[in-house]
């Protein structure tokens, strides 16, 4: 591969690798195949460039496609990148430079070689790649502690000869081996089941699971296998899979479950369970305090992402792709259909970071419409035509006076999900503002309401065609004046108006209301 060299144990990226031949660590893949789990990966890089231009390195998991993000490789000193991730068997880290091919083209350099370095081309160099893992904060790991607590351990070779050894276990591997298996099973189930069911146990809860353990032990299974079978059965039960609530007012544990699954998409943590056990969650002040605590924790990221996916339709960000001829800036170059990955990632993350900052710092909802700051990086600032911002990391940046980029409505992510990739419609976007921002969904059209047919002759504009429509006149026209015009000027992607971009005439179902002229 001529655009990637290995010199003295270092990887020299002189261009992007082929999409079907990603550059990744085979040693890490072998390690995770043998022992999947959490690994810490440390990568050091530097830039070799006569023109002293910083570069960006893109990292992702090879099989799961999890994106670690874009990382700056600055000038003058090596950069150290550290990531931690739970790797599945055989997974690894893919490394790729960002936009090196375009940089070479702008400098008039060819994309072939060797010897590309002799031609003065820029290079992003991987100096070292190290992985440490599997990582455990404690030993035995927290997962083992949750299932088997401090039960004494024995090597499989020291277990009774009739014990069935699970496949894949070595004779020197350890397994829980209590002196009184039945008594220990009752203790462990008494710890596990209240957490799984998210409530105190009643007398009949434990019996079927304890009986399952006894049957497996009698059949010659090991204590470990018998307990795992009981745990598996508990996690398949309705008490775990559903929020089982008693009729009437919610008790503390039901409140804890609802609050936790709403704000973290997971079961209550130890602090919330303790509050429920103390019967203090029915106190509104305590409930508000716990809600604030959960929102401030990293566990709330799942709630934030789900909320924005539904409210602002960020889950539809890739439903359509901008026309390459009309919006070439969305692609790496005109000769490729490959999306500009940093731009695509940045426009989504901008909106997520903006809302997370608003929520966690208790900022006013008016910032949705107008704000004095935005979350930007170098690529996004270039895209919006704003003053330069260094680096690939998105961060809060004060906007210039008079900038129309404040608030959520002019985010590129919003403009993209309210357009179809080649044209825009003030009706579609006005209906979106009514429903998503103002909470006033357009009413269904009456039976005699017709659609707006495109005037292919160009004799009338969309605004002229909509002038007699009451829904547009009474609701959408004010939105067009205050909100939609900036969005129209921004088109789908940029600030300056493009006269060559067509304007969509068709109105969405439900956006016309009464028949034309019927007030």
Query: Reduced to 3 states, what is the DSSP secondary structure of residue 72?
Result: strand
**What domains appear along the chain, each with residue ranges and CATH number?**
4-132 (2.60.120), 142-241 (no CATH), 252-296 (no CATH), 328-490 (no CATH)
pTM of the model: 0.82
Distances (CA, A) of 488 to 383, 458, 475: 16, 19, 17
* The two structure tokens encoding residue 107: 């400098």
The whole-angstrom separation of Cα 44 and Cα 315 is 34
**Complete DSSP assignment for 125-159:** EEEEEEEE-S--SSSS-HHHHHHHTT--EEEGGGS
Cα separations in angstroms, 317 against 236, 314, 349, 351: 35, 5, 12, 12
Q: If DSSP codes are grouped into helix, strand and coil, which group holds residue 79?
A: strand
3-state helix, strand, coil in the chain (%, to 5): 40, 15, 45
Whether residue 302 contacts residue 265, with contact meaning beta carbons closer than 8 Å, is answered with: yes
The angle at the Cα of 278, spanning 272 to 282, to the nearest 5 degrees, equals: 75
Cβ pair 267, 260 in contact under 8 A: yes
Look at the block and give the residue holding tokens 């434990």: 206
Q: What is the 3-state secondary structure (H, E, C) of 91-125?
A: CCEEEEECCHHHHHHHCCCCCCCCCCHHHCCCEEE
Q: What are the φ/ψ torsions at residue 424 (nearest 5 degrees)? A: -130, 165
Query: What DSSP character marks residue 366?
Result: G
Q: Are 339 and 321 in contact (CB under 8 A)?
A: yes
Tens of pLDDT, residue by residue, the chain (519 residues): 457 777 778 888 877 665 556 888 999 999 999 999 999 999 999 988 877 788 899 999 999 989 999 999 887 788 999 999 999 999 999 999 988 877 777 777 776 555 544 455 788 899 999 999 999 888 888 889 999 998 999 998 888 877 777 777 888 888 999 999 999 999 999 999 999 999 999 989 999 999 999 999 999 899 999 999 999 999 999 999 999 898 989 999 999 999 999 999 999 999 999 999 999 999 999 999 999 999 999 999 999 999 999 999 999 999 988 888 888 888 887 667 788 999 999 999 999 999 999 998 989 989 998 899 999 999 999 999 999 999 999 999 999 998 888 899 889 999 889 888 777 777 777 788 888 888 888 777 666 655 555 555 555 665 565 555 555 555 555 554 455 444 443 434 444 444 444 444 344 444 443 333 332
Cβ atoms of 125 and 48 closer than 8 Å: yes
| Beta carbons within 10 angstroms of residue 87's beta carbon | 28
Q: CA separation (Å) from 514 to 163, 426, 519?
A: 77, 18, 8
Cα torsion 26, 29, 30, 34 to 10°: value is 180
* CA–CA gap between residue 149 and residue 475 (Å, rounded): 63
Closest CA to 274 of 204, 190, 200: 200
Helix, strand or coil for residue 216? helix
Contacts of 251 (CB under 8 A, 6+ apart): 282
Q: Residue 140, class by beta-carbon neighbours within 10 Å (0-12 exposed, 13-18 middle, 19+ buried)?
A: middle
What is the Cβ-side half-sphere exposure of residue 72, based on CA atoms within 13 angstroms? Answer: 15
If you ran DSSP here, which 8-state letter would residue 326 be given?
T
């Amino acid at each position: 591969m001529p655009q990637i060299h290995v010199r003295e144990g270092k990887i020299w990226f002189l261009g992007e690798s082929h999409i079907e031949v990603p550059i990744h660590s085979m040693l890490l893949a072998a390690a995770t195949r043998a022992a999947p789990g959490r690994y810490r990966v440390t990568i050091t890089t530097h830039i070799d460039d006569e023109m002293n231009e910083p570069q960006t390195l893109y990292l992702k998991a090879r099989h799961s496609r999890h994106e670690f993000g874009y990382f700056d490789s600055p000038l003058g000193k090596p950069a150290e990148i550290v990531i931690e991730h739970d790797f599945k068997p055989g997974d690894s880290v893919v490394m790729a430079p960002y936009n090196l091919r375009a940089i070479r083209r702008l400098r008039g350099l060819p994309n072939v070689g060797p010897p590309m370095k002799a031609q003065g081309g820029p290079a992003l160099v991987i100096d070292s790649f190290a992985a440490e893992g599997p990582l455990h904060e404690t030993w035995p790991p927290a997962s083992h502690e949750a299932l088997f607590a401090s039960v004494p351990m024995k090597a499989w070779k020291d277990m009774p000869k009739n014990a069935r050894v699970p496949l894949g276990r070595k004779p020197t591997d350890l397994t829980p081996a209590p002196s009184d298996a039945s008594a220990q099973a009752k203790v462990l189930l008494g710890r596990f089941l209240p957490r799984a069911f998210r409530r105190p146990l009643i007398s009949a809860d434990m019996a079927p699971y304890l009986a399952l353990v006894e049957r497996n032990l009698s059949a010659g299974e090991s204590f470990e296998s018998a307990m795992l079978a009981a745990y598996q059965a508990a996690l398949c039960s309705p008490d775990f899979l559903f929020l089982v609530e008693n009729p009437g007012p919610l008790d503390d544990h039901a409140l804890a479950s609802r609050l936790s699954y709403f704000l973290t998409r997971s079961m209550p943590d130890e602090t919330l369970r303790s509050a429920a056990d103390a019967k203090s969650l029915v106190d509104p002040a305590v409930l508000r305090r716990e809600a604030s605590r959960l929102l401030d924790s990293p566990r709330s990221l799942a709630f934030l992402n789900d909320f924005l996916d539904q409210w602002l339709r960020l889950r539809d960000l890739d439903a359509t792709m901008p026309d390459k001829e009309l919006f070439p800036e969305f692609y790496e170059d005109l000769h490729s259909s490959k999306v500009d990955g940093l731009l695509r990632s940045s426009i989504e993350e901008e909106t997520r970071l903006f809302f997370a900052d608003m929520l966690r710092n208790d900022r006013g909802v008016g910032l949705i419409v107008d704000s004095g700051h935005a979350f930007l990086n170098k690529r996004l600032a270039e895209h919006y035509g704003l003053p330069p911002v260094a680096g690939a990391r998105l961060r809060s940046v004060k906007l210039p006076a008079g900038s129309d980029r404040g608030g959520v409505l002019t985010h590129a992510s919003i403009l993209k999900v309210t357009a179809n990739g080649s044209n825009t419609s003030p009706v579609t976007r006005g209906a979106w503002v009514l429903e998503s921002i103002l909470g006033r969904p357009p009413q269904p059209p009456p039976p005699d309401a017709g659609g707006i047919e495109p005037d292919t002759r160009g004799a009338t504009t969309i605004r002229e065609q909509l002038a007699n429509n009451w829904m547009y006149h009474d609701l959408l026209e004010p939105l067009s004046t205050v909100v939609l015009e900036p969005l129209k000027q921004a088109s789908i992607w940029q600030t300056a108006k493009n006269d060559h971009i067509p304007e969509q005439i068709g109105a969405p179902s439900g956006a016309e209301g009464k028949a034309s002229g019927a007030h």
